[in-house]
Structure 1
Amino acid sequence: MAGLPKLPGFSFNDPTLTKFHLSQTFDIVNGYKQPRTQYMGIGGRELDSNSVKHIHKSDPVRYDPSLTYGRCKSKPYPPFRPHFALYDQKCLTFKAFFKQSVVESPFEFYRVRPVNIIYFLEDDSISVMEPRVINSGLLQGKIVRRGHIPKYDDGSFWHWKDLQVGKDLAFYGTVYHTVDCDLFTREYMASQGIDMGEPEEMPYDPYTYHRQLQVIPKVTKTPPADDKLRRFLEFDGKVLKFKAAWDDRENEYGELMKFEILYFLADDTVLVKNVQQENSGRDPCAVLLRKTKLPKIYTDTPVTYPAIYLEKSDHEVTEYYQPRDFLVGNTIFVLGRDMLLYDCDKFTRDYYKNALCIEQKPALQLEEKEIPTPPVQVPPHDGLGSLEDSLQNTLTFLTKTPKKDVAKQLINANKFLRYQMIMDAAHPEDTIRKFILSYSLADGTCTIQEPPIKNSGILGGKYLRSTLLVKPNTDPLNPELYTPGDFYIGAIINVFSQRFIITGADLYVYRYMQENFSKFSCEVIDNIRNWMFRQGYLKGDLDDLVKDNFESKKDFEETIDERKLTDLEKCLRETVGDVEDDKVKQQKMLQEYEDSIKHTYKVPPHGIVPVQMECPYPVYTGEPKDLTCKEDVEGKYTSYTPKHIDTPEEVTEKYYRGVLQEQQEVCDGRYPIQCTDTPPREKEREERSGPIMTSPEDIPPGSCRIKKKSVRFEDHCTKDRNDLCDLKTEKTHCDCTDYCP
């Protein structure tokens, strides 16, 4: 195909040819380009012009005799190499020194500083380097930067022909004296016809020589044949733990201190830890001896050893403690402290038994005499500040505020128990004053407010700020405070030597007692409940209780009846009903309710206390109401909810209460009463003595532990100022004549 004419359609490509790059004409040798003697074609293929195939046999011009007779040997010409390639990385090195004067120093006057002068043949540049010396205190290294150094002012530079051993060279004002050169420099100079002189001795620096004399030569010892890596892999994390005690009670202020000694098997080091004891008075230092090797004889050191500023090393210590030295019952010395080993852990006992065939002794008992703690002497209160602050300041050196019950404050925030009080006064003008006591459930403080009274001259307002009320005749350092359990109707409260009598309470007080009945006694709960009932605050509770009892009984009876009836009887009962059973059930429930509200104890008689002063006007109370029930109960009650019926005692009490309120102004003398004859229909009443109030009843124990919304009646005894005769002269009785029926 190569012989075909190159016409359109007659050109063919060789599919075996894949490389078409041009061959390089230079080779890079030591960083420099060298021309190639043989050239290759495209893709590295041989050129046709260099092939023997293109030489005709009869061509005398291209006939090569070497093909027949062989080539003759001739010396090859060296290739041309430029100057920068020929002397690349070739330097002439001379050893020299220069003297530097030292002023204001009593130990030296000058210093000899050795340097190396390096001459680069590549570009005829020179550099001066000072070798570094440890702890010389000088900035050593490159002194003269590489470059052409001027020789004279005419512009000439230093050349390698000017360098010689034993010659002074002035570089930038500093004179360097050469003393020697290296072997390459001598051979190169000899090849150029310059003979280097004999090397000179480098002078010594006096100050450096003086310091070298002071350095103690190091003495080395052959280390023991111990494979530390094997010990680390085998014993890492394995520690022998001992309990030790140091008895220092023979010295002043000494004591028996306990420590923990840890022996690390990986590197034979010892760590001593402090065992912190409460209220020991010592600084909380965790470690007595850090992890280090513990010498047996601490004082066995050479006399000339500078122990003031150097620590001991393995060369000064003859022997260290080994595991065989740590036995329970033995005494070891920890840097001058004799410590008794009195116990060890289970791993330590097993290690000594299995590895060393040593049986550790049982633990020793260290008996310490317990010193009785003297009782804390609380200083008396000086009257400044509150008692809580004074007691808190005696507990700690730094003053702190007393701790408060935060949970109690959050739960009982803005919750107060309010009571109405009157003053147990000795002056008549104080009898009309009334006070309101507010007890805070959050912090137990009490606040007393006095409502103002118009046209009385009493302004009212805050009587007592929020404070803790202390009961009289209690320990001043541990006082007993008033609590809600001490507040009830008729209770006498002593507020800073002023007596108050509680006459009323808020309904929230009774609700709080129901929720927290365990905090109050039975008498206090009954007292508040009865007073609330007399005031009519528990009417809704009574209605709810009666309704709940009725509904519960009704549901219970219906469930029992439904269990006994068949399906047919249930259907007939739902359609027809049993009217007679409903009436019987209604009468039964009504009778049970009346029986439940009747008094089961004897009510004390009512009467008036005899007084000294006589009343000029007789008082007639009249006849009490008829207690006979005249209403048709069966026709009135159409539902199962019964109506409350007053008992004879309650009717009598209500009647006398109305008489007292109507006849209040009799003894005042403002409105005289005209006495009339007793109507003939009034019955004679027996004369009774005593005040219109009852004495406290005998309450059986546990009588107040009843369910919520339950009511228990008692004699309604109150020390009310609205008695029949109130002359405002006494606090406990009335001055009037006997009661006139």
Structure 2
Amino acid sequence: MSGLPKLPGFSFRDPTISNFHLSQTFNINNGYKIPKIAYSGIGNKELDSNSVKHIGGNDPIRYDPSLTYGRCKTKPLPQFLPHYALYDQKCLTFKAFFKQSVVESPLEFYRVRPVNIIYFLEDDTITVIEPRVQNSGLLQGKIVRRSKIPKYDDGSFWHWKDLAIGKDFAFHGTVYHTVDCDLFTREFMASQGLDMADPEEMPHDPYTVNRQLQTMPKVTKTPPADDKLRRFLEYDGKILKFKAAWDDRENEFGELMKFEILYFLSDDTVCVKNVQEENSGRDPYPVLLRKTKLPKIYTDTPVTYPAIYLEKSDAEVTEYYQPKDFLIGNTIFVLGRDMMLYDCDKFTRNYFRAALGIEQKPAIDIKEPQPAVSPPQIPPHDGLGSLEDSLQNTLTFIPKPPRKDVIKQIVNANKHLRYEMKMDAVHPEDTIRRFILLYSLSDGSCKIQEPPIRNSGILGGKYLRSTLLIKPGSDALNPELYTPVDFYIGATILVCGQRFIITGADLYVYRYMQENSSKFPCEVIENMRNWMFSQGYLKDDIDDLVKENLEAQKKSDEGVIDDRRTTDFEKCLREFNVTEESTHSEKDKQKQDKLLQEYEDSIKHTYKVPPYGVLPVNKECAYPVYIGQAKDLSCTEEIEGKYTSYTPKHIDTPEEIVQKYYAGVLKDQQEICDGRYPIVCTDPPSKDMPCNETEEKQRFLRVTPPDIPSEACKMKQKTVRFEDNERCAKDVNDLCNLKKEKTHCDCTDYSRDCS
């Protein structure tokens, strides 16, 4: 039944099948679909694919050669490129022709018009282009624009498989016959299994052939020995450049005019360009003589030559200018104008030296001596507006605002130096008045404000708006302004006829002088520093300086004493040959105290504070200024005690050594103090007692005075043993209470090595 065709009437149904449910092929476990290994078909019928009886000995479907021979190395797949990218800018070019019938001419019946058929592989489009022929009289160029050309009426298009040499192709009613193709087209067709035929000969156009036969051959002269093509290829772009001058001052309204002469080596032509000068009063015409050959004798022309109708040719000119005629200092004639050459560029000099063996002369100076022009006189200031603003009216016809130092304004924005002033009073009521001078670092202007004084009748407020203060007696056109150099304690300044005396300043003024010490004389800095110190503003500077000196002294002492990372006490012991056995003697203790006292005396503060609390200025002042009395800063007992309390290195006293020793014991045996392990008091073992296993496991806590060598009591034990058993019972926790007075017994002799 399996061999019957599947036609109506030839199909049979199994009557035993009553369940037509299709078994599922996946089981869902924990939300995941897992395929079944074996499942049945419709009606629980066994599938042929899972039946063993359908599997042959060499079943090609279930046979996997990789299980027997292993997997072979597969070649990597080539990179995928789309069709339009693979064949981008790749074209097939065929040479063809078509015949165009001519019905209205008795001289020709048809024309042969050669064309190029170009097939674009990227989108299977075709274009037909006719090469342009000069003087053909035909509208040539693109005949068929690029598009897919239909082949038949069924909607099919011409394909590159249809193209070949020697075939006729009908494109939009015009039949084209192919005769040849280019090399790329032959190679591409051969790679696709298509061999192109041999090229055919392009037929001649009968009308063109008749015209060529009727044309008489031209009679030509023998070409000159000079090869123009070679000269063009060799000297194209190489130009000799000269500077010339035409002196026309002998005529009325004449002047000395400058020109630039260019000699082109490729064709021996000359071009004369006008050199434009500012305010010359002439029209800016660029060229005096366009590029042409320049005859030496302009008037050398036959009398009978019709110069009105014809231009001169090589037959009428005797000689043209050559490079050898252009020498510095010579005069050449340009259509009646005599121009003197006075300079040339570097390339021209090198060309004359290398090619012609001529050394050009140095440049000639043709500049006319200019009369001395007196500097413009600046009128005096009329007092209206600022000096800089009024000066712009004398410099230009249209005044411009004066330029400002923008960088200075940005850097010093909102930065002012504040000074306190008082009037050089003439009237008694002005003696109590005080003023604040604010100097702006951004523009150098000053403004003065007066603080109000209660119950004095003085309102205060703005005394002088922001303006530039001019020093008395300075030049009106170049005035000298007040600067921070002129402001110091005790200085007298004149503001609008009123004298002021500076009596104080901000600490910022002194900081600004320190940062810009090169802008201020040393006496001004010294004056400001004296006043600041007298007012107590430099206290922090003095503290920092003393601290730095102490740290420097500390480093120097540490470098001398602690060279091997040993304590000072140990070095002193080595110096006096003090051994460990004599450390507890009274004599050695006295020596130790003496050495300790000598060390403490050596590190005492002996630095003397400078006269004004800071380092002196390293500048010599010819005329020092001292205003007021400097504060006495001699080193008193109070100051010495304040700064000598600091020691660079702490040395433990004997009491501290004992306390630290017992603190270490307490830290190591903290578990005894916590009560986790009870203290068992036992009798000390005798020396003759044999060492057995039980006693090896028993551990002892040996507490010794710190002056005994540490080798005797280094074991950390779990029990405490004293000579006096009564004290052991009374003071069990004496180690935990370190504040109590303790007198421990000597170490019990105990031999650790058991033989």
Q: Structure 2 length normalisation: TM-score?
A: 0.45
Q: Structure 1 length normalisation: TM-score?
A: 0.46
Larger radius of gyration: 1
**Larger RCO of the pair (alpha carbons < 8 Å, separation 6+):** 1
